[in-house]
Structure 1
Amino acid sequence: MENSSTSTVTTANAGVRYGLLAGIASAILSLVLYATNLEQSPVRWVSMLVLAGAIFLAQQFYKQNNNSFMSYGQGLGIGAMVGAISGLVSGVYTFVYTQFINPDFMATALNKARTDMEARGNLSDEQIEQGLQMSSKFMDGPFLYIGAILGTLFFAFLLALVISAFTKHKRPEFE
């Protein structure tokens, strides 16, 4: 017997919906961390929990609208879409934050990096300067924003590899 009901929810729909939610939640979390000077603390990794939660919820949403079925590949696709959209929102947020909200962000980050390298005590002044020059190249221009997008996509895909293994529910072959 054929399954004649078709769902309007696709993997892309689920991924976009929850990717937007994850991106907005991560931007709000980031603002709170900057406002409380906790942006360099271990608390910043909470954004990975937000991303993992969004992937899980997107997969559950997809399954609810597809007779509880989702293949492993569909789960990976949903996770990648959540990561891509969330990364895009993060990239836009990072641009707005570094250009308009806190234009001194780059200088502050480089000063903190200098302080951290000097505190270690195992680097010469030349090595510190070289490291800071290299860091400033990656923090300037499109590298920072592209890095936010690709980094989020990469971690989302890694999370989706694990989460999809637990949430998949294949449709029986002879249904």
Structure 2
Amino acid sequence: MASKVSYQNISIKYGIFVGIAHMAFFLIMWAAGLTDVVELSFLSGIFLVIGIIMAISSYKRAKNGMIEYFKGLGIGATVGVVSSVLLALFLMLFVNLAAPDYLESLQASALFPESLSKLSLFVITIIYGTVPGLWIAFIAMQWFKRPDHTMPEQV
């Protein structure tokens, strides 16, 4: 019986893992009193890189080494979307329940506008995860693509 593996299921699974890692990293930063250093939060991009590479690798293994290029890009974009939506939802809960002053510290940062609202924080968080997810997948697919995806010989 052949197992049906979809890139969507693998992407969602690893997106959830990456989202949990983002939230754990944020909570560690909060516990250490480092949430005012907004630049540190960009280190969690490492989790996105690792998650996308693991997802693409897992899908390629499940498909016996054959992966379509656009499915690899889809994996990266989906991992990025799922993880960043989870982080955005978490940040909304965090700002509303635990630390309403966190939004003010972001507004004071040079990385965000002074008029930053909860809605714009939600949208920016999703964009900051989705766009890099696609780029990371594009770069990773240079290693994961099928062997027959090569440049044609020049005449």
Match of 1:136 in 2: 114
SS at match of 2:22: helix
**Superposed CA RMSD:** 2.2
Instruction: State which of 87, 92, 104 in structure 2 corresponds to 1:90.
Output: 87
Alignment partners' CA distance in 2, 1:86 and 1:30:
13
Residues 125-164 of structure 1 mapped to structure 2, 5 A cutoff: 135-137=113-115, 139-164=116-141
Match of 2:152 in 1: none
Task: Choose 1 or 2 for highest CA Rg.
Answer: 1
Residue 57 of structure 1, CA deviation:
0.5
Kindly indicate whether the alpha-carbon contact (under 8 Å) linking 2:92 and 2:118 is maintained by their aligned counterparts in 1.
no
- String of CA shifts for 1:46-92, please: whole Å, max 9, x gaps: 31110000000101111121112112211101001101101110110
Flag structure 1 segments of 5+ consecutive residues without an equivalent. Answer: 117-133
Instruction: State which of 52, 55, 60 in structure 1 corresponds to 2:52.
Output: 55
Q: 1:107 to 1:46 in 2, by over 3 A?
A: closer
Kindly indicate whether the alpha-carbon contact (under 8 Å) linking 1:70 and 1:170 is maintained by their aligned counterparts in 2.
no
Kindly indicate whether the alpha-carbon contact (under 8 Å) linking 1:7 and 1:66 is maintained by their aligned counterparts in 2.
no
Residue 171 of structure 1, CA deviation:
7.3
Match of 2:42 in 1: 45
How many residues were matched structurally? Answer: 147
Flag structure 2 segments of 5+ consecutive residues without an equivalent. Answer: 150-155
Q: 1:50 to 1:68 in 2, by over 3 A?
A: same
Kindly indicate whether the alpha-carbon contact (under 8 Å) linking 1:19 and 1:85 is maintained by their aligned counterparts in 2.
yes
The percent identity for this pair of structures is 23
Normalising by structure 2, what TM-score?
0.84
Kindly indicate whether the alpha-carbon contact (under 8 Å) linking 1:12 and 1:81 is maintained by their aligned counterparts in 2.
yes
Paired amino acid for 1:49:
I
Which 4+ stretches in 1 moved above 4 angstroms? none
SS at match of 1:37: coil
Normalising by structure 1, what TM-score?
0.75
Alignment partners' CA distance in 2, 1:171 and 1:10:
22
Residue 6 of structure 1, CA deviation:
4.8
Residue 97 of structure 1, CA deviation:
0.9
SS at match of 1:135: coil
